[in-house]
Amino acid sequence: MTSPIRFTLDHADGGARAGRIVTAHGEIATPVFMPVGTKAAVKAMAPDELWGIGFRMLLANAYHLLVRPGPELVSAMGGIGRFMGFPGAILTDSGGFQAMSLARINSIDESGIRFRSHLDGAAVTLTPESAIGLQERLGADIMMSLDECTPFPSDRERARTSLEMTARWAARGLRARTSNTQALFGIVQGSIYSDLRRNSVAQITSLGFDGYAVGGLSVGEPKDAMYEMAELCAAMLPAGMPRYLMGVGTPSDLLAAIAMGFDMFDCVLPTRNARNGSAFTSAGTISIKRAAYARDELPLDPRCGCRPCRTLTRAYLRHLFMSGEILAARALTEHNLYFYARLMQGAQAAIASRTYQSYAKSVTSGFAAGEPGA
């Protein structure tokens, strides 16, 4: 089957790559960060606001959309993008991560994953075949193969059996695929064992997906182990296809992973941290809860051009947060996502001008400089 997406590499600087992914719902510049809209909504943000910030692809979760509102409704409404009112591309995670994060309500064997719905306890089953059918009905531009996200810590034998089952599931999912308009990515597992990661890359890439993801990282392992496994996998993945590092992470993590050669990222960090009062800035993170901001007339980040930084002071944002006002979550979320979008745009430009190393160094050194305007 000819790939439904087209991936073009335009520039390279060392390992860092800048290019384009063309989908049925538009073109996405890479490296790209995808905000997480688990239930077809990025918390505290309207779809047109995300588009205005510059995001052209979002992530949603197939398991959560399966239990509510259900793929039949989403399909009847014209697919997930139209349902959301988002004109760009949508990537759906298959639900494999939920097998780990909701471990208390699931069981896993060769046939697939059995859940008890976190909503009402109803039985839910995901197989490699049904996960693809589910994502096809949702209308995702990029679908993910069902995998078992190996938890940390896992011993070598547990990690080995997990990645081998993931490979068998990947082959089953490919055979079940019926859509020629939706891309399908395979997922590499293997925990923190380099030989197992190599085996997983070899197994998954031999199957012939439209792109490849590295999963099972940023799940509690030491940072140096995460970097080692990510770099090892990136070096082995096909150069002419999109490389997706799942669930990572902080701005520094993203910059490091871009240098390794990854093109796509997602993480709940910018939105979750915002709801907890934490803002990413050009000089690191700040907690708006601090009493020091009670009379501070500066914006969150004097170097930022987002709407909250143009119009709201730290003092006002702190008041909103301490008062439990919804506007605090909205403003901090918009700021954090704007920061991530500009981080990716800066990386794209730096790769094109072959100055990525100095760009990444200047950004990360800024994080260590202290709070902006302090």
Phi, psi of 244 (to 5 degrees): -120, 120
Contact 146, 114 (CB under 8 A): no
What is the reported pLDDT for 374? Answer: 36
What is the reported pLDDT for 369? Answer: 61
| 171-191 tens-digit pLDDT | 999 999 999 999 999 999 999
What is the reported pLDDT for 101? Answer: 73
What is the reported pLDDT for 103? Answer: 62
Taking CA 170 as the corner, what is the angle to CA 164 and CA 173, rounded to the nearest 5 degrees? 145
- Interhelix angle 326-352/356-367, rounded to 10 degrees, is 150
Q: What is the DSSP letter of 305?
A: -
| 215-268 tens-digit pLDDT | 999 999 999 999 999 999 999 999 999 999 999 999 999 999 999 999 999 999
Domain range annotation of the chain: 6-266, 273-367
162: left (phi over 0), alpha (psi -120 to 50) or beta: alpha
Question: Would you call 110 helix, strand, or coil by DSSP?
Answer: coil
What is the reported pLDDT for 371? Answer: 47
Single-letter amino acid code for the residue at 235: A
What is the reported pLDDT for 373? Answer: 43
Q: Which residues of the chain have pLDDT under 70?
A: 99-100, 103-105, 369-374
Return the active site residues: 93, 266
Q: Which of 217, 114, 214, 127 is nearest to 169 (CA)?
A: 127
What is the reported pLDDT for 96? Answer: 78
Q: What CATH number matches the domain at 6-266, 3.20.20.105, 3.40.50.300, 3.40.50.620, 3.90.850.10?
A: 3.20.20.105
Contact 147, 175 (CB under 8 A): no
